Chain A
């Protein structure tokens, strides 16, 4: 009998092809939308976290507490010393991948008669490229070029435009060192980079760490040391080990060792996730309504047909089961189609990325916040869990939608059914 019900349900699908097509379409499009929306949102969140790790948090960040407190005004005198020791400690660990010390300070830039303020970041070009992958962002020139002389720099595209400079031009950097003396060095522009982060492209130039140290007169110290691990989950463990070295555990207790999970931006993610959760909820609600509506109508317009079934001797339970089975088939087929479409769309856009510039027009340039948040290209993040959950969602909604009409029609007398066409 059960086998017959499944057979009957299946056959029913082809009896009114147009009806089946539209219900399938509603579910497929709904499931596809949910999958893609989820991938997109996950992409935004992961993108922000990843950028935060790459550019400011590392997997572990080591810095002076006063530097962290006053980070907005870039206090130059609060430094982390004993870098060699930290390096010895972390490089001995199996989890260690790379260490990226950085120096940041405000500079006055001068080329001919044009002056601008900028933020100079001293980096070890090789180490920093492993993490920030800045060499990929170079649009003209090269990544520090032949930096044998050590006086090459790379500069943000918009900053270069403001200064009217290009590759091979000389740029004079002037700053106040940690002892409040003024120091200047001429640099040669080796490359111009464009990351899409407005705050970076407009203000930042990267110079070799050695030259940054010379300018600030700060020996072999750094403002912050980013440590990257093979396994980001081990950050707390490794942070504890660094804290136990003399460099990480100075007598004033001024040095902070911060795992990436404690980064402000990363910590704000759950709040951001909630906001996106609400948006996703609204999307899912609308999708559910559309499916519900289509399914409901698909059953209700068939009361006449159900009356015939009842007159032929089908039991209440059997009518109920047949409608449910039919809905299950539609749900599964629709969800599979939606899953394939949504999955493909998400997977492809995960590879290709979305140009936010194209979507937002010139608006992106106007977002000028100090924390890199949105890149020029957004990559949705497609996961298998997302696919499965969204498909189950589609099937579940299809089943829920027919529960009431199925129950109602199963209990109807055939005569009643013939009369009550399209009436609830």
Chain B
């Protein structure tokens, strides 16, 4: 909103200057030149200021979320971890209610089978069949690698609400990503202890889907790169079905999540998101 009101002011100023009667023509002309030069500089320095109705970074993020949001979803996912020349495939099923709650159960490989993960808000509980115990994870411990992948638990829990509260956003010049025009958003954390201090996000201009995200530490070191490699339409909307995360601190490693099957808005019993369900064989 503030961006819009700002963009009107220079336009008004220009008009006012133009409408002033032309006395002392040479002086006036020099002044005019200066005024025009000033606006040209302003225009170059701050792109977007003049384009009326351009959305803010957070407007775009919210639009993405709106596109992604569903009441409930059931999905079958394959997680493919590639590290050096090894490939490990894990399969899992997941239930989710909006962005708030999710339940994931690993089906393979044998050592992971029966591992269950429950996330409610920013608390993650994991059941390990080998130990027959539930571990509760929260806070900075969510930065751990999730099940040996390039994703952390934190990567799975973040959403736009947190972004708006903890980051300041700006829109950089448009770029194309895989030949599609994209907004480029740069979010900078207001909090020092943020895992990813800066985020650079490429958002498809038409589909409003984040296509690529680069995550940086405060030092400017690139920590992770996320790309969307596959999209599918479900009931008139696009949904990413293949996401690849690369943890740059792990050498030659990447993790691809492939959604094999997804059903939106199916009834899920409340009991799914309980600790009892975790302990149930």
**A interface residues (Cβ-Cβ under 8 A, vs B):** 108, 110, 113, 115, 172, 174, 176-177, 179-186, 217
Contacts and interface: CB of A to CB of B under 8 A. Distances in A.
Interface in B121-158: 126, 128, 130-133, 135-138, 141, 144-145, 147-149
A110 B115 contact: no
B83 A180 contact: yes
Contacts of B138: 113
Contact of A186 (B83, B88, B133, B144): B133
Interface in B34-88: 81, 83, 88
A170 to B, nearest CB: 8
B214 interface: no
B144 A172 contact: no
Contacts, number: 60
A177 B145 CA distance: 13
Interface string B97-139: 0000000000001011001000000000010101111011110
- Looking at chain B, what size class is its interface with the partner chain? 20 to 34
A183 B88 contact: no
Nearest to B112: A181
B111 A179 contact: yes
3 cross-chain pairs, A with B, having the tightest CB-CB distances, nearest first: A184-B128, A181-B111, A180-B148
The main secondary structure of chain A at its interface with chain B is strand
B130 A185 contact: yes
Given A176-B145, A181-B148, A184-B130, A110 B111 contact: no
Contact of B131 (A172, A176, A180): A172
Count chain B CB atoms within 10 A of each CB in A110, A176, A186 and give the residue with the most.
A110
Contacts of B132: 186
A108 B148 contact: no
A182 B144 contact: no
B136 A183 contact: no
A39 B149 CA distance: 52
B135 A180 contact: no
Contact of B130 (A108, A110, A179, A183): A183
A217 B110 CA distance: 12
Contacts of B88: 179-181
Nearest to A181: B111
Contact of B128 (A176, A180, A183): A183
A254 to B, nearest CB: 14
B135 A179 contact: no
Contacts of B136: 110, 113, 115
A189 to B, nearest CB: 15
Contacts of A186: 131-133
A358 B115 CA distance: 49
Given A108-B141, A180-B88, A182-B128, A172 B133 contact: yes
Contacts of B115: 182
B129 to A, nearest CB: 9
Nearest to A186: B131
A217 B109 CA distance: 13
Contacts of B90: 181
A174 B109 CA distance: 17
Nearest to A115: B141
B148 A176 contact: yes
Given A172-B131, A180-B148, A183-B128, A115 B111 contact: no
B128 A179 contact: no
